Amino acid sequence: MAKYFHTAVQFLFLMLNSMKDVVYSDSASNELPKLLLISMDGFRYNYLDRIAPENKNNFQYFIDQGVRAKWVENVFPSVTFPNHYTIITGLYPENHGVVENRFYDPVFNETFLFENSNQNFESKWYDMGAEPVYVTNTKAGNGRLSGVVMWPAGLAAVKCTPPDRFIPGAYWINKSIEFEQRIDYIIRWFSDPDYPINLGLLYFEEPDETGHPYGPESEEVKNVIAKLNEVLGILKKKLESKKLLEKINIIITADHGMLTHPRNMTINLDDTLDRIWYRLTGTDKNMLLVQVFPVKGFEDKVYSNLKNYSNLHVYSKDEQALKDLHYNDNRRIMPIILEPAPGYVIGTNDSLAGYTTVGVHGYDPAKVKEMHPFFIASGPAFKKGYSAGPIKMVDLYPLMCHILGIKPAPNNGSLENIQHLLVNPAPSHKADILSVTIVTYILVFIALASVAGVFSIFAVRHSKTRQIYMFSTRNSESLSGYNPGADQRLLDSGSDDEI
Ligand SMILES: *[C@@H]1O[C@H](CO)[C@@H](O)[C@H](O)[C@H]1NC(C)=O
Ligand SMILES: *[C@@H]1O[C@H](CO)[C@@H](O)[C@H](O)[C@H]1NC(C)=O
Ligand SMILES: *[C@@H]1O[C@H](CO)[C@@H](O)[C@H](O)[C@H]1NC(C)=O
Ligand SMILES: *[C@@H]1O[C@H](CO)[C@@H](O)[C@H](O)[C@H]1NC(C)=O
Ligand SMILES: *[C@@H]1O[C@H](CO)[C@@H](O)[C@H](O)[C@H]1NC(C)=O
Ligand SMILES: *[C@@H]1O[C@H](CO)[C@@H](O)[C@H](O)[C@H]1NC(C)=O
């Protein structure tokens, strides 16, 4: 009769095990979720619409296999460094601190320039409370590793955690590292037999580099997009050969779009301001979003003279309009901010002389649609063949953390806004714990009922005293290899990790 009890205990054991597999299939297969985030700088939301099918077949592959959003609502100012840091932190620039490509920090009494290689690796510019996804991923442990190829504002150690893999000395503007070489780094890191990364960030400076001198509507931009299409084809092939293509989640997006600037649309500060009244922080190379620091005693004069320009928006730092743009609460934002009307640029005699740029960006994306970047995503986490409306850039960080199965740091985004892109929209954390708890109760109940069932069959045939004796001895023997505490621990840590 003892075999009935043995069977019942085995049944309970099996049930608990299979439940664990159902609820946490990822950990059961012993593989971490994989994510590759790609940025193609300055890739406007509608660029692909005017590309011939044969020149975008690889983009089309990822669209057909996954999701395309209408555009990304990026953040003000629509320039490279603030937006790249928003993508990976989910924070507005006033909160992550990288407020421009070039800016002045009054506490450091020092200017950040995005073309300065050393500053790209210096923590102090990025480590102001933000937590980029490469840090969140690595800090979550369990073998998670992050690799970064040349991501703008993505190379420094933040919270004492640098990217686990990067190309030494190579920052975002290093043109000597060919696109295919960058892919090779990423593939090698993902397929490392001993310490593979599960998160990769990959940056290409095109089509921005071509969009500036030739303009967004040019043939040159079309050609460089055809080249990026080939690059994607190479990536796809290499992922396939490493048997990664089916397993990896890929997000392809950008920081901003691009607008044509007609030569005659300029705002020259020398027309109304004496240069001794003010300083431009950053440098006068920021032609779109200009940060003005008036010299003491000239504040009103500078402000009122700037107000005379008809194609210039002049924000003073305490203005509600700037707060609404989430561009106020940071010491690196100066007392006066200038934003030109669409198509216009701001300069001085010197910076405007010889200014030949055709494509420009930096305007408020909420006002100038051309500032929006594109978004494509595919992989096991994403729906297939799904067309979404506009999505928010600040929601990408919680989305990535969810895909990676890690807990996001505080941010300005929301998974709820964006989870319609996913195959399995996440139940909220509470619902997750609740469902696990309910499943546990049901299974324990079934198991107890089975034991009770066997027990009662037994009881019909045997005397009460003998049966109790049998139960207690068999019970302790069968359970000797079984540690319920361990199982419970697994469930607990699982529900914490899944967020
Ligand atoms: C800031 O640095 C400059 C030199 O770069 C120096 O002339 C100036 O005195 C410094 N200001 C303060 C407040 O330390
Ligand atoms: C570009 O990257 C290579 C490889 O890491 C490095 O040796 C080189 O110094 C970098 N060049 C520049 C201009 O940063
Ligand atoms: C710039 O030039 C174009 C034609 O070349 C003209 O239509 C437009 O009005 C000009 N804009 C300004 C501000 O001068
Ligand atoms: C700016 O406009 C005010 C009147 O609104 C005028 O008094 C002043 O002279 C103008 N300044 C310049 C530099 O045009
Ligand atoms: C800027 O150019 C104008 C026109 O050539 C000239 O009158 C003015 O003095 C110049 N200002 C400065 C600060 O160079
Ligand atoms: C953005 O997130 C940060 C960090 O949680 C928070 O301090 C800030 O208030 C948020 N901003 C907005 C507009 O919600």
The closest of 58, 377, 36 to 185, measured between CA atoms, is 36
CA angle 32, 36, 40 (to 5 degrees): 170
Q: Is 324 in the pocket of ligand 5 (CB under 6 A)?
A: no
State the Cα–Cα distance between residues 104 and 330, nearest whole angstrom.
Answer: 11
CB neighbour class for 398 (10 Å; exposed up to 12, middle 13-18, buried from 19): buried
Question: Of 80, 86, 161, 266, which is the active-site residue?
Answer: 80
Q: Give CA angle at 109 (104, 114), nearest 5°.
A: 40
Query: Which residue owns the Cα nearest ligand 5 atom 13?
Result: 270
Q: Give the containing element (helix H, strand E) for 214.
A: helix 208-214
H helices present in 307-428, as ranges: 320-324, 349-352, 396-404, 415-418
Compute the distance from residue 336 Cα to the ligand 2 centre, in Å: 37
Q: What is the pLDDT of residue 435?
A: 52
Q: 10: Cβ below 6 Å to ligand 5?
A: no
Q: Is 86 a catalytic residue?
A: no
CA dist 395 to 87, 158, 264, 360, 412, Å? Answer: 8, 21, 38, 25, 7
265 lines ligand 3 (CB under 6 A): yes
- CA atoms of 173 and 187, how far apart (whole Å): 21
pLDDT for res 498:
27
Q: Where are the beta strands (DSSP E) in 151-230?
A: 165-166, 199-204
Distances (CA, A) of 342 to 58, 216, 266, 496: 33, 14, 11, 47
**Token digits for 19?**
């439940």
Q: Residue 69 has what pLDDT? A: 98
CA pair distance 87, 133, nearest whole angstrom: 9
User: What is the Cα–Cα distance from 277 to 268, expressed in whole angstroms?
Assistant: 15
- CA within 13 Å, CB half, 333: 27
pTM equals 0.83
Q: Which residues of the chain have pLDDT under 70?
A: 1-30, 282-286, 426-499
Tokens (6 digits) for 237: 């092939």
129 and 95 Cβ atoms separated by less than 8 Å = yes
Cα atoms in the Cβ-side hemisphere of radius 13 Å centred on 284: 16
- Evaluate: CB of 143 within 6 angstroms of ligand 2: no
Q: How far is the CA of 294 from the centre of ligand 4 (A)?
A: 18
Are 440 and 491 in contact by the 8 Å Cβ rule? The answer is: yes
276: phi then psi, degrees, rounded to nearest 5: -80, -5
What secondary structure letter does DSSP report for 36?
Answer: E
> Which pLDDT does position 471 carry in this prediction?
34
Q: Is 484's C-beta closer than 6 angstroms to any atom of ligand 6?
A: no
Beta carbon of 305 within 6 Å of any ligand 4 atom: yes
**Cα 262 to middle of ligand 3, angstroms:** 8
The ligand 4 atom nearest the CA atom of 271: 13
Ligand with smallest separation from the Cα of 261: 3
Strand partners, 250: 36, 378
Q: For ligand 5, atom 1, name the residue with the nearest CA.
A: 349
Give the closest ligand to the alpha carbon of residue 111.
1
DSSP-assigned letter for residue 499: -
Give pLDDT, residue 347: 92
Strand 34-40 and strand 66-69: pairing? unpaired
pLDDT of residue 494: 28
Q: Give the nearest ligand 4 atom to 308 CA.
A: 1
Residue 290 confidence (pLDDT): 85
Partners of 268 in the β-ladder:
347
270 Cβ below 6 A of ligand 5:
yes
